[in-house]
Structure 1
Amino acid sequence: MRSLYGVAAAVTVALGGAVCGVSHAQTAAADAQANDSLENIIVTARRREEQVQDVPLAISVVNAAQLEQTGTFNVGKLSQIQPSIQFYSSNPRNSAANIRGLGAPFGLTNDGIEQGVGIYIDQVYYARSATATFDFLDVDQIEILRGPQGTLYGKNTTSGAINVTSRKPSFTREADAELTYGNLGFAQGKASISGPLIDDKLAFRLGTSYTQRDGTIRNAYTGEDINEQDNLGFKGQLLWQPSDDLSVTFSADYTHSNPLGFGQLYVRTGSTQRPLSRQYAALAAASNNYQVPSTDPFDRVTDLDANLSAKQNFGGGSALVEWDVGPGRFTSVSAYRKWDWVPANDRDFIGLPITTISENPSQQRQWTQEFRYAASSEKLDYVAGLYGFYQTIDTNGVQEQGELASRWLLSGANANNPAILDGLRAENDIGLKNTSVAAFGQVTWHVTDDLRLQPGLRVNYDKKDGRYIATVTNSTNTPLTPAQLGVLAPQNYTPKFDDTNISGDFTVSYDIADNVLAYGTYARSFKSGGINLSGLPLDANNQPITAVETVKPETVNHYEAGLKTQWLENRVTANLALFWTEIDDYQATVTNSQANVIRGYLANAEQIRVRGVELDLSTRPLDGLTVYANGAYNDHEYTSFPDAPCPPELSGGTAASAANPPSAPGTPGGFSPPSCDISGQWLPGISKYSASYGLQYDLPVAALGRTGSVFFAFDGLYRSEFSSNPSRSAYTDVDGYSLANFRAGINIGNGWQVYGWARNAFDEEYFDFLSTQSGSTGLVIGQPGDPRTYGVTVRGSF
């Protein structure tokens, strides 16, 4: 008894307002229809099976064939086929998936806040953003929904959700396997097997995946390639069906990842307000005339001298109970998840002993329980549920400064005394206990055959208890000096947050004509408040500013209108969505204004706004040919953020005053304002224009007594320029770019397929993100996007 209840409850991607675009264009040849109509897609966004075009939500659906053929083997890769998704990752822990530019603050991850985009796998919410970097295991379908979600499923998410559904155990024996080999040592293998254990009562499914790829950046210091891929995962399921009305699915999975990485490299320099002798060029010259291996970032070479590690273990188990009782279905989802993270980083980003150790190993555990009942009748459809979430995080971090730290982080005579900072060490004990419980529900009233009203309500309680204990010592075990305290200061605080909020949404939908659906939605939602768990900024006396221990909840007001249409006997799908979202007390990761401190912290921006239009088109103009184009326009800004940290070009100078007003940006030795008004500026990480487009053509052939097809496909992606710093900087805007992917092959028949592929076929040079070195030195570092890759894939079913 197969159910997708809960799939769409967690999916809201930032693609175009429609759902078909990429899905239709990338359907495998084996699934191509013999006529000119686009296939119907069934979803359960409202806890019942419906055609996606009948659902008054902006949804995108990607099936297993599309994922496999486009090389989308983890959530992070979705952004390359979905124009409204943004994904940024400097390492698995510091990863964020956003929809329409909203979800998680841009920058280093802070454990004390929630994700705005929920990632769900088999109806289980995954609290860690590192999930996005793991390989999919035996996936059947991904549903992506945009906008606030929360009145239909467990954990509240204010920006959208990405819901992954695995293939279910089958009572018919089946197996499939896939092998891929490509340049850069890319090797990937996937396999699954399923079948009955006891007639029609008990079935199993086993799946595995392995991915290996050489690093894309050469570390000249060690002679190794970094930023590798190295994932090995297993998943097992048991389906027990004691009766036609009851099924229980037990799932367990485990993934181990141990790539060499991660690191960024030199991109360029830009002037700050720090004295010229304290900026990058002068500091490098004073450090034995240090030079990076290359000043061209697309040479892809660096010289990081600190240890690098990105080891992680991820796993857990769940029990899904589905019971048809009364007029509807009762669902229970019980789950336990664990994530162990063992990193090592080079936080000065160059081959000098400035910060020699930066490691924050972390262990996260989470327990979740959801109860839900959904039913339908002629006039009313409804769902009601209860949800509980408990999470613990324990981190024991170390940061240590090296022999050149004084020169780079201090000024005056202190800069010439390496003993001041050499061996300065902070050992951090960080913890979080996070509890969330909620009751939620939604009703759809069929006023007439064409008109429907859909109100939803959620009551949510959140509580967070944290600890941050930083013990700082120097190499001489003597009392810390003011200069040392300005770099690493002891801190001991126990932030707490708890709050109850009520949120809801209301949707009106109307069938204007056959295959023409119009809808409008208003949603008011809340993202839980948070606590700062990366250390607090210091005041003029090097004391923690306790006023920023916590950040307020985000208040979201979201408006959306959409039109979902199909034309010419379903050969053309055209979907349009217009959205306007305002968030008060937006949770931002901001750069610490102190010149010597490495980490940022959380703060509330008074208000932000994103608004835009999304258009998705797909058509089958000829038998075997599918064409699609999805576009998104997103106008975004800080509506009000008058006291934001300043960008790098205004940082690092002497404090400005009435007598000495702020200097022009990038004036060495100038005067820096204590804060900047960035109201009206771009939000980080969002492109104003984005699009995906492509085609696939399948031509039936018969050879050697088999009937199959040959196919050719092209997929393209465009993103315009975006800001890569919380306060927009002239130095960290990322240029727009276009990517082109090709594949061609043959479906041999009986489930066998062979094809070649090329991704980023024209070897476009682009950055995933840019950032700056701490200390206002003017160094800009970045992570280049993947170069051209190519290879061959063989897939078979048995």
Structure 2
Amino acid sequence: MPIAITALGAKQLSVAQINTTADLKSVTPGLAFNTALGGFGQPRIRGIGTTTTGPGIENPVATYVDGVYIGSAAGTLFSLNDVDQVAVLKGPQGTLFGRNATGGLIQVTTRTPSQTPTADGSISYGNYGTVSSSAYVSGGLTPTLSASVAGIYDYQKDGYGTNVYNGEDVQKHRDYAGRGKIQWKPDSQTKFTLSGDYSYLQGADPAIHPVDGTLAGPGPAGARDIDQNVQPYLNTKSWGASLTGQHDFESVQLLSITAYRNSFLHAIIDGDQTPAPNVEVDQTQKDKQFSQEVQLLSTAPGPFKWVIGGYYFWSRGSYDPLDTKVQAYTPFGPISIDARVDSRQTLNSYAAFAQGTYDFGASTHLTAGLRYTIDDRAIAATSDTTTPFGSDIESTSDSKSFKKLTWRLSLDHRFSPGLLGYVSYNRGFKSGSFVPQVIPAEELKPETLDAYEVGLKSDLFDHRLRVNAAAFYYNYKNIQINEILNGVLYPFDGKGARSYGVDLDAQAKVTRALTLNAGFSYIHDRYKSFPNGYTTNDNVIDPATFQFQVLTVDATGNRLQDTPDWTANIGATYVVGPITVAASYYYNDGYYVDPGNGVREPHYNLVDASITWTSRDQHLSIRAWGKNLTNALYSMQLDATSTGNNRVAAPPRTYGVTAGFHF
């Protein structure tokens, strides 16, 4: 395939201890993955992503599960419990995967029900009182009907930190998820798959810890401790269903994917991160979506292969509500302000696409594709600001249509059976939208990305060495950025950026027992003209508002948010008899989190390892494992805000034992 891609099978994910979508960054060159409020997933590929969340705000790195696009950021952070393969496609996928795949996409394929009875399961116990289990069962119900059921449960009793204000634990959780599938094959040409899933998480998150002062001074000494009068709370739920139908005609294949999804997030945070009752944010976000995709794919022999299709996507996201309670200080004493926003953003999206590949002989192929997208967005919002002097109610509504043509053009040539080279030019598009908490309605402009790439894919020495490398140049326009004021996130538009870089991944079968894998990414990224770039505070308190003053600076030439210059990973697996020893190392050289480049995540190193015993018949296994063995302190969320800079620390050293079975 003439694109940069990292593909990982179920066994590779298990050995590397990749348990969630957030873990994928440690084995995927060029991929970063942060979170917001502990429940919003924010993947970023080659510097393309977003730190913005809210109803109607989508990520320019798309997430697909079994061909279904997930529009809400609250639905993109999940466990990989019954997965067959995960593929990370890098660069714009502007034709076949056109829905907000500007930076690339994460494609998760779950296991297909089988006629052969199969059962897998595991139970784990780890430090911090963590108990987890998973199970998968599949088999045939009739000669034409098969089904599968998968589930996972995870409970962490003790938190990674403490809220010293009330003595309660923070950064602990309980979550569970399940998926069921039924597949019907009435004949050899026809297949239908019905799938349903549900996930639930509740935790004491996000544990926001000051790192650069707050209104009340520095935070607790413990990096994962907080001192806040509001105990953090997070609850997310996500569920959905899909029906995939496939029929093979004489020379074409018809594919249909129909899906509905629903997600819910409720978070309560201390907006000022202090023991004082200055700012409390209570946010409820609800997202619903429906999608229908139809494709026709050529299957007849010949030099020309093609696919044409249509796509419809409907979504509705809402703040229900976003409630911010502020204690303001006046010459006459403190007063309470309650600012409530109810907001609903609706999208109807229509797209048509076509892509074809022509073979110039056995070694050279030209691929060209087009996709035309129409996004009709509408917003309706009301704000109610209540003070001791009365209530101020404002409303807004607006609508706009965003239209864009995107494309893909690539040429690849196989120089030998084990060496493929390619060049490509792609355009990606992320739809415009409205800022969900601003009245009157404020538009976010659509993002576009022109990407130029050259790459090599090699499979050498009788498949013992695989090396894939790519170099790219990006021209990025209208970047949707955010700032955080009084605990509330406000998006706005940046002019654009230019970036270039290389990424590489390799795997070597050194001996029958020893396998090595490695990855590397370098990205040079700079904002173009950006006179309204900002830093969110200057650590000087404004005597009129008792908040840090906000400075506006020229960010032209600064680095993009959450984009490290260098990342690298290396892993090894050694098998001797029934014993498998695995270890991995990941390096991140740090990144800035604001366009003003005032707040930086330092470089960090991660080391994971495991040792597994498997019975001779492959039915039973016992694994001892450890993650972040050096107990590195790094962030899963780092923010520059108007009340001081803060972070949510990623998990510390964790370790445990897992017993598994397979039949």
TM range (shorter): over 0.9
CA distance in 1, matches of 2:236, 2:591: 31
Q: Which position in structure 1 is the counterpart of 2:295?
A: 372
CA distance in 2, matches of 1:90, 1:261: 10
The reply to whether residue 697 of structure 1 matches residue 643 of structure 2 is: no
Answer yes or no: is the 8 Å Cα contact 1:257–1:312 preserved in 2. yes
Aligned AA for 1:794? A
Q: Which position in structure 1 is the counterpart of 2:151?
A: 208
Q: CA 1:769 to 1:619, structure 2 compared with 1: closer, same or farther past 3 Å?
A: same
User: What does residue range 19-168 of structure 1 map to in structure 2 within 5 Å?
Assistant: 55-104=1-50, 106=51, 108-153=52-97, 155-168=99-112
Q: 1:406 aligns with which of 328, 338, 341?
A: 328
Q: CA 1:336 to 1:790, structure 2 compared with 1: closer, same or farther past 3 Å?
A: same
The reply to whether residue 619 of structure 1 matches residue 513 of structure 2 is: no
Q: Which position in structure 1 is the counterpart of 2:400?
A: 497
The reply to whether residue 327 of structure 1 matches residue 273 of structure 2 is: no
Q: Which position in structure 2 is the counterpart of 1:787?
A: 652
Aligned AA for 2:655? Y
Q: Which position in structure 1 is the counterpart of 2:581?
A: 712
Answer yes or no: is the 8 Å Cα contact 1:265–1:350 preserved in 2. no
CA distance in 2, matches of 1:268, 1:156: 35
Structure 1 residue matching 2:212: 3-state secondary structure: strand
Q: Which position in structure 1 is the counterpart of 2:182?
A: 238
State the Cα distance separating 1:386 from its structure 2 match: 0.5
Per residue, is there more strand in 1 or in 2?
2
Aligned AA for 1:433? T
The reply to whether residue 748 of structure 1 matches residue 615 of structure 2 is: yes
Answer yes or no: is the 8 Å Cα contact 1:764–1:787 preserved in 2. yes
Answer yes or no: is the 8 Å Cα contact 1:491–1:535 preserved in 2. no
CA distance in 1, matches of 2:572, 2:102: 33
Q: 2:488 aligns with which of 581, 599, 622?
A: 599
Structure 2 residue matching 1:649: 3-state secondary structure: coil
Q: Which position in structure 1 is the counterpart of 2:456?
A: 563
Aligned AA for 2:70? Y
State the Cα distance separating 1:342 from its structure 2 match: 2.3
Task: List per-residue Cα deviations over 1:336-361 (Å, max 9, x = no partner).
Answer: 11112222221111221112x31121
State the Cα distance separating 1:326 from its structure 2 match: 2.5
Q: Which position in structure 2 is the counterpart of 1:33?
A: none
Answer yes or no: is the 8 Å Cα contact 2:55–2:287 preserved in 1. no
Q: Which position in structure 1 is the counterpart of 2:226?
A: 302
State the Cα distance separating 1:416 from its structure 2 match: 5.8
Task: List per-residue Cα deviations over 1:107-134 (Å, max 9, x = no partner).
Answer: x513233211111111111111222322
Q: Which position in structure 2 is the counterpart of 1:169?
A: 113
Q: 1:247 aligns with which of 191, 203, 210?
A: 191
Structure 2 residue matching 1:56: 3-state secondary structure: coil
Aligned AA for 1:147? G
Q: 2:595 aligns with which of 700, 714, 726?
A: 726
Task: List per-residue Cα deviations over 1:67-119 (Å, max 9, x = no partner).
Answer: 22333222112123223211111324443111112122x2x513233211111
Aligned AA for 2:194? F
Q: Which position in structure 2 is the counterpart of 1:645?
A: 534
State the Cα distance separating 1:304 from its structure 2 match: 2.0
State the Cα distance separating 1:495 from its structure 2 match: 3.3
Q: 2:274 aligns with which of 350, 353, 356?
A: 350
> RCO higher in 1 or 2 (8 Å CA, sep ≥ 6)?
1
Q: CA 1:671 to 1:160, structure 2 compared with 1: closer, same or farther past 3 Å?
A: closer
Q: CA 1:99 to 1:616, structure 2 compared with 1: closer, same or farther past 3 Å?
A: same
Q: CA 1:207 to 1:557, structure 2 compared with 1: closer, same or farther past 3 Å?
A: same
CA distance in 1, matches of 2:272, 2:6: 40
Task: List per-residue Cα deviations over 1:644-689 (Å, max 9, x = no partner).
Answer: 234523987799xxxxxxxxxxxx999986x321110011101000
State the Cα distance separating 1:634 from its structure 2 match: 0.6
The reply to whether residue 340 of structure 1 matches residue 283 of structure 2 is: no
Q: 1:515 aligns with which of 418, 434, 440?
A: 418
The reply to whether residue 585 of structure 1 matches residue 493 of structure 2 is: no
State the Cα distance separating 1:718 from its structure 2 match: 0.2
Aligned AA for 1:609? R
Task: List per-residue Cα deviations over 1:135-175 (Å, max 9, x = no partner).
Answer: 22411111111011131246241111111111111111111
State the Cα distance separating 1:569 from its structure 2 match: 1.9
Structure 2 residue matching 1:301: 3-state secondary structure: coil
State the Cα distance separating 1:328 from its structure 2 match: 2.6
Task: List per-residue Cα deviations over 1:592-649 (Å, max 9, x = no partner).
Answer: 6xxxx54342222112122101122221121110112210001111022122234523
Q: CA 1:768 to 1:261, structure 2 compared with 1: closer, same or farther past 3 Å?
A: closer
Structure 2 residue matching 1:136: 3-state secondary structure: coil
CA distance in 1, matches of 2:101, 2:7: 19
Percent of residue pairs identical: 26
Structure 2 residue matching 1:80: 3-state secondary structure: helix
CA distance in 2, matches of 1:501, 1:438: 10
Task: List per-residue Cα deviations over 1:7-35 (Å, max 9, x = no partner).
Answer: xxxxxxxxxxxxxxxxxxxxxxxxxxxxx
The reply to whether residue 436 of structure 1 matches residue 436 of structure 2 is: no
State the Cα distance separating 1:710 from its structure 2 match: 0.9
State the Cα distance separating 1:430 from its structure 2 match: 0.7
Task: List per-residue Cα deviations over 1:468-494 (Å, max 9, x = no partner).
Answer: 2111112x3x346xxxxxxxx754222
Answer yes or no: is the 8 Å Cα contact 1:210–1:233 preserved in 2. yes
Q: Which position in structure 2 is the counterpart of 1:468?
A: 381
CA distance in 2, matches of 1:651, 1:641: 24
Aligned AA for 1:575? N
Task: List per-residue Cα deviations over 1:688-720 (Å, max 9, x = no partner).
Answer: 0001101111012xxxxxxxx212111010000
CA distance in 2, matches of 1:264, 1:569: 51
CA distance in 2, matches of 1:624, 1:525: 43
Answer yes or no: is the 8 Å Cα contact 2:56–2:346 preserved in 1. no
Q: CA 1:440 to 1:672, structure 2 compared with 1: closer, same or farther past 3 Å?
A: closer
Q: Which position in structure 1 is the counterpart of 2:315?
A: 391
Answer yes or no: is the 8 Å Cα contact 1:721–1:733 preserved in 2. yes
Task: List per-residue Cα deviations over 1:476-527 (Å, max 9, x = no partner).
Answer: 3x346xxxxxxxx754222322121111010000111221100000012221
Answer yes or no: is the 8 Å Cα contact 1:398–1:425 preserved in 2. no
CA distance in 1, matches of 2:435, 2:262: 22
CA distance in 2, matches of 1:254, 1:645: 40
CA distance in 1, matches of 2:563, 2:14: 27
Structure 2 residue matching 1:76: 3-state secondary structure: helix
CA distance in 1, matches of 2:525, 2:638: 19
- C-alpha RMSD over aligned residues: 2.3
Structure 1 residue matching 2:195: 3-state secondary structure: strand
The reply to whether residue 737 of structure 1 matches residue 661 of structure 2 is: no
Q: Which position in structure 2 is the counterpart of 1:36?
A: none
Q: CA 1:135 to 1:502, structure 2 compared with 1: closer, same or farther past 3 Å?
A: same
Q: CA 1:654 to 1:440, structure 2 compared with 1: closer, same or farther past 3 Å?
A: farther
Q: Which moved more, 1:625-634 or 1:126-135?
A: 126-135
CA distance in 2, matches of 1:260, 1:113: 25
Q: Which position in structure 1 is the counterpart of 2:521?
A: 632
CA distance in 1, matches of 2:614, 2:589: 36
Per residue, is there more helix in 1 or in 2?
1
